[in-house]
Chains A and B, each alone.
Chain A
């Protein structure tokens, strides 16, 4: 396959502009309890029922760090091929907002728990490495609800204090589709590690997007704008495109870009300034006097490293080498850990080549149509393996298999049961088939003469009639053999 070339530039009459993007991804840590308190982190509970005196910032309350959240951050760092900092410090980031009861967020400023790392993307124009600047631990804020009353805002602190990992990329991304690929890659890695569920609807993964532009070939970065809190990949792509175009228009009309925080309006498909946040940007960070420095032992990190699961890139390489998959197929099958598990389960007892096609083509079409996760697939890996085996053993043809598969999707039944009950088993008895062939040829004696006098195209017609007469169950290979034999005479 020929490689496509990278081609995301904003072209105007005068110039070709390159778009430079950096991402700050906020990923909610999977843990039972919060980063600094023993309240539950479970999503969807009744408002303010998962709030302790620490989370609501009552005077005199002291934070105590959750050991598991530290492990989760370190594991994620290792998954991002990043440097783990054995010494890190928690700071207070001060700002005033109704859903931040303490008036500050506990975060990490100068000494984050994880330093520089690297993520590899598979783009149509080849693989691309994206640098990670850092990953730090911080608290999530509560939730403000603005639409329950015209005059007031309602505050739910259930989310207040849940652990977040902020993953900051280097400004290495160059297009909306690279951003798409990067966020999906981070999500896949974290799901493999079990450190973040990546559920964007529930807000477990959201991002601030930094966008700037420069003329193609220029080395210096332009002034950037930060688009806050974008909560879906599609919106990230739209926001980048619209923000980059806005900046091009400004510069080409002789104006300058102001460094500022902007908000993406999904209905109007445009970004707008959030002037209100400007002043709040003076965060006055300082080390949190309630928390001592976090010191990790190298042995602790090494232990976690030993226990890491196989990561997407490693799994992809293994699939390519061991199962002779193409990079594309391998990518698709490792994109979610549950898909890769399903695949490996099916091929334990079934032909790999047939199985991968059935999963990637037929099963994915059904899951897509029904909007189902592979975990909830109506067709179990065991049943799909049996279906594949029924095909490779010649019990049913590929065409009949599709019929059986349809029924499996509706009922979740085993293929052997469906084949038996519906009488779909392939007819492979030469004597029975011979009878059908003789009958079809007898019924079409005129066509047989035409065939024998040179109209060989009629061969396909005979096959079609025979298949019809057997309700599609005749073994095509046997039919071929018998038919050829009969037509010779």
Chain B
């Protein structure tokens, strides 16, 4: 598998990372070599192996359905770059 400049651009856009065009070339190369390295794993036969979703041999610990959080509006809004008394404020999002 190889990764080209357009794919790097797309991934950057999806992740909202701004990317200087001058860096595209070197980044593509880096990512490509990383992927190629990881690609070695494909040589292994994993037909009979379930995909690993967790490395600890434990299952999910649930909590009971109790309200014991929230009501911290001021703390929540505190670090927002833009806000008013009640809301987070962001640039207009139009559908």
Which residues does A use to contact B, with CB under 8 Å?
31-33, 37-40, 46-56, 64-70, 89, 94, 96-98, 144-146, 148-157, 263, 274, 276, 279-280, 282, 284, 287, 289, 291-295
Contact = CB atoms under 8 A, between A and B. Distances in A.
Contacts of A157: 76, 88
Nearest to A45: B70
Given A156-B87, A287-B53, A293-B60, 6 more contacts: A40-B70, A64-B63, A65-B60, A153-B90, A153-B93, A295-B60
Contact of B56 (A56, A68, A150, A292): A292
A50 to B, nearest CB: 5
B73 A51 contact: yes
B91 A52 contact: no
A286 B16 CA distance: 18
Contacts of B88: 48, 98, 154-155, 157
Interface in B32-81: 51, 53-54, 56, 58-73, 75-77
B74 to A, nearest CB: 9
A94 B67 contact: no
A238 B69 CA distance: 41
A52 B72 contact: yes
Interface residues of B, number: 39
B70 to A, nearest CB: 3
Contacts of A47: 73, 86-87
A68 B64 contact: yes
B14 A52 contact: no
Contact of A52 (B13, B64, B69): B69
23 contacts: A33-B69, A38-B66, A39-B70, A40-B70, A48-B76, A48-B86, A49-B71, A51-B76, A52-B69, A52-B70, A52-B72, A53-B76, A65-B61, A67-B63, A67-B65, A68-B65, A151-B91, A152-B92, A154-B87, A154-B89, A155-B90, A287-B54, A295-B59
B14 A38 contact: no
A70 B14 contact: no
B68 A292 contact: no
Contact of B65 (A31, A89, A276): A31
Contacts of A32: 65-67
B20 interface: no
Contacts of B75: 53
A64 B67 contact: no
A279 B11 CA distance: 10
